[in-house]
Structure 1
Amino acid sequence: MKINSNLGIWMDHSTANLIDINSKHKDQSIVSQFTSETKEDALNRSESLMHNKRQQMQGKYYDKIGAQILKYKHVLLFGPTNAKVELHNYLNKDSHFKNIEIDMESSENITHNEQLAYVKNHFETV
């Protein structure tokens, strides 16, 4: 597997936009399967079911993001929610990620072009 150098990930609990500014490929998005409809449906049955379902689906979401992170040496996690912190904690439990440098920053809900600029700026100053 080819290891790339830098990846930026703008994320919240529902979507992760993966931005590799050196790639010729289109940026990729990963979407969580835990939607508001799923939450509502599970909550109608029981609160513990909703929490279990959320944990299970968030785990799958973080696994998909993690599979992409393994292809890089340096990753920036940024976004408006604590999803980036949850992902970082999730990855810290797995030794596969120990040699990957992971930065975290808070940002607002920003457009795709602003996300690109944010990632470019971050890796130019690191």
Structure 2
Amino acid sequence: MKATKRVGVWMDHATARVMEYHTEEQRIKLVTADHKGLDNQEGLQHSESLLHHKENQSIKAFYKDILNILKDYDEIVLFGPTEAKNELYNLIREEHKYDHLKIATLPADKMSYEEQHDFVVHYFKTLLNYESPFTK
């Protein structure tokens, strides 16, 4: 029987910290959004819609980078202070090839790296220790 692979992702619109669920060690991948050129005021004066289009492309590329990592996992918890987690969740759910993924989204404040890791460990430990009354 294949072992279930679990991962937590703390994210906002600029950074994602992908943390595998392990209680004894931290395995972290950092993904950052490439927003270069989006603060160019000359571009803003030239065309606001062009700037908006570039921003959308940048965010979609950021989410795609994260998804390339997440596709190898079975259970995922997305958490963080912004709506980025919900945007990524919706993007994943649009792709039916990812229907097998179990995904939860939870709000969370800014956290230190250790707090993020503890959040992931606590989430999955709680999930694994939960005994459903429907399984009896």
Fold conserved (TM > 0.5)?
yes
Larger Rg: 2
Greater CA drift, 15-24 or 112-121: 15-24
Quote the offset at 1:25 in angstroms.
7.0
**Equivalent residue, structure 2, for 1:39:** 38
What pairs up with 1:1-126 in 2 under 5 angstroms? Answer: 5-22=5-22, 26-35=27-36, 38-41=37-40, 42-126=43-127
Alignment-mate amino acid for residue 38 of structure 2: K
Alignment-mate amino acid for residue 81 of structure 2: P
- SS at structure 2 position matched to 1:40: coil
C-alpha distance in structure 1 between counterparts of 2:108 and 2:102, whole Å: 19
- SS at structure 2 position matched to 1:72: coil
Unaligned 5+ segments in structure 1 are none
C-alpha distance in structure 1 between counterparts of 2:38 and 2:62, whole Å: 15
Q: Is the 8 A contact 1:3 1:73 kept in 2?
A: no
> Against the structure 1 CA distance between its residues 15 and 3, is the aligned structure 2 distance closer, same or farther, given a 3 Å change threshold?
farther
Q: Which runs of 4+ in 1 moved over 2 A?
A: 21-26, 42-45
Quote the offset at 1:4 in angstroms.
5.3
Number of positions where the alignment pairs a residue of Structure 1 with one of Structure 2 = 123
TM-score by length of 2: 0.83
Aligned sequence identity (%)? 28
C-alpha distance in structure 2 between counterparts of 1:67 and 1:24, whole Å: 23
C-alpha distance in structure 2 between counterparts of 1:29 and 1:45, whole Å: 34
Q: Is the 8 A contact 1:70 1:96 kept in 2?
A: no
Alignment-mate amino acid for residue 60 of structure 2: G
Q: Is the 8 A contact 2:9 2:17 kept in 1?
A: yes
Over the aligned positions, Cα root-mean-square deviation in angstroms equals 1.9
Quote the offset at 1:97 in angstroms.
1.2
C-alpha distance in structure 1 between counterparts of 2:3 and 2:65, whole Å: 17
